[in-house]
Amino acid sequence: MKKWIVCVLALAMLGAALTACAKQEAPAQNSGDREQDAPAAQTQDGEEDEENYATGDASLDNPRNQDGIGDKELLVVSFGTSFNDNRRLTVGGIEGALEKAFPDWSVRRGFTSQIIIDHVRSRDGEVIDNVGEALDRAVKNGVKTLAVQPTHLMNGFEYTDLEKELASYADSFDRVVLGEPLLTSEDDFSRVADIIVEATREYDDGETAICFMGHGTEADSNAVYARMQQVLASRGRANYYIGTVEAEPSVQDVLAAVKAGSYKRVVLEPLMIVAGDHANNDMAGDEEDSWKSIFEGAGYEVVCLLRGLGELEPIQALFAEHAREAIDSLADTSKVADASQTAAAQDVGAEGMTPVPASELADGTYEAAVDCSSSMFKIERCELTVANGAITAGLTLGSDAYGYLFAGTAAEAAAADKSAYIEPEGRTFRLPVSALDAPVPCAAWSRNKELWYDRTLVFRSDSLPLTAFKTLKTAAGLGLADGTYTVEVTLGGGSGRASVQTPARLWIENGAATAEIVWSSANYDYMKVDGAQIDAEITDGYSTFVIPVAAFDRPLGVLADTTAMSQPHEIEYTLTFASATIAAS
């Protein structure tokens, strides 16, 4: 904080031009919600002091100030930091997560601190837009829909300033929406509390106080720190403490609370999006008034974690959710089917499914089974194409009732430009698939109702031939010698009422594996495995089958015919044999 004050006072002496620039930055006591990170101070004669520490390679950072934006822009607004590596890991990490979450939007960067922008440009030659420059760039590029997601911790002065600046550009775009800061709802507080506890779990040994340093503000929003302390306490985290640099609770308040316990060690970490000047100097610096020095002076072993919240993937995901909520609000809700217009959703997929990305599949074209959350969305045929590290599904529908599909939710479809809609080739739509065995959101446009309907699809890896997978764990590959073993087997699919005995008996002969599957009833008369029918041996009220095991640790699709109904009925199941549980018998 001392560096920032010196810098502002020095700039004030440089004349009217620089004074005008400095006025763009609110005084320190009025900007406590900002992730401040002042550059090196200037002397009275205008010469800049050299930084006595390295901040990383600026060339590794992406300033995201490119033109060629397109119709839709997602502008990520941050206070900023001049610490290059941390800027890349925190602000850049959040921006990267938003790019993955919104592949149809151009993600761009805007910083609110002109001091940081100027310092990074002077020191490293990296050009970062301020918010006005970023908005002007969007206007020049013809952006029609602008979503702005701040990386602020709270709704304070900085957020209010951003709202005002956006308002002055309201007539420049067709639609503008502003996302919420990190800590907005009660759910946000709960999730962030869980995230920081998980991130520091290795230090939570009963003898360590884990202390987070926030910035603090004179605004009412300073209450977020007390609220976070309450949430942590409600979770039984009595050894977690929240303090601030600029407001209450102070470092002395935190020290007093820690002294009331019986701790030997203190872990310090910033409760800020970035780990910039405050984290490196006010928290972890060697000056006598730093948090580190104060706690060491009180006799504690101190560990400093120079990690901003923005580095944590769950925090990045939470920002993406806030952006999603903002973008969804742009949707024309009159075009989205509500619950009363939608058939009851069906469960898709199975608990514990592991997503199968394109990288695990061999290039080729495969017939596949697909589960859908709606019984009204009839898929006659699904053909998966794997090529160039991507999966595309050719979905042939049972009718021409749908005019478009969209890779996303119905709300996103209603907010999207028509160029993003997937048009049919006859009755076949080609949909990108992020992974097999994972829910894929899909919106379908009804020609008759003129509404978008939400669908969730799961493309089943167990329906693919084993040749589709690049690597398989086979008996030969595992080096299993001929003999008799046991193995844990998990049954999936069906209604959930049936079960099989586990562990199952397993035989290895000449590198090939077979297993004895014993069902919980005698109502199964045959199974089909890889298209071959295997008849049951019915004994003692059980149906027993000896079937080939082509691979371990992957769901293997089978059909089992039950006679328990009025008519025999084939039911789809999966069997997964866990290689780690194989034991000689």
Catalytically active residues, by annotation: 215
Residue labelled with tokens 């470092």? 251
Q: Are 210 and 241 in contact (CB under 8 A)?
A: yes
Distance between start and end Cα atoms, the chain: 68
The secondary structure of 382-432, three-state, reads: EEEEEECCEEEEEEEECCCCEEEEECCCHHHHHHCCHHHCECCECCEEEEE
d(CA 133, CA 147): 16
Closest CA to 51 of 60, 63, 42, 64: 42
CB 274 within 8 A of CB 215: no
Q: How far apart are CA 324 and CA 337, in angstroms?
A: 19
Q: How far is it, in rounded angstroms, from Cα 153 to Cα 219?
A: 13
* Encoded tokens for 519: 């069902």
Question: What is 490-507 written as a DSSP string?
Answer: EEEETTS---B-SSEEEE
- The SS3 assignment for 140 reads helix
Residue whose entry in the numeric block shows the structure tokens 């030969």: 476
Going by DSSP bridges, is the β-strand pair 512-518/542-549 parallel, antiparallel, or unpaired? antiparallel
Determine the residue type at 443.
A
Tokens of 183: 């800590």
Instruction: Give the separation between CA 154 and CA 314, rounded to whole angstroms.
Output: 17
In angstroms, the CA 111 to CA 18 distance is 19
- Say if residues 237 and 209 touch (Cβ distance below 8 Å): no
Contacts of 545 (CB under 8 A, 6+ apart): 516, 517, 519, 524, 527, 534, 535, 536, 537
Backbone angles phi, psi at 285, to 5 degrees: -70, 170
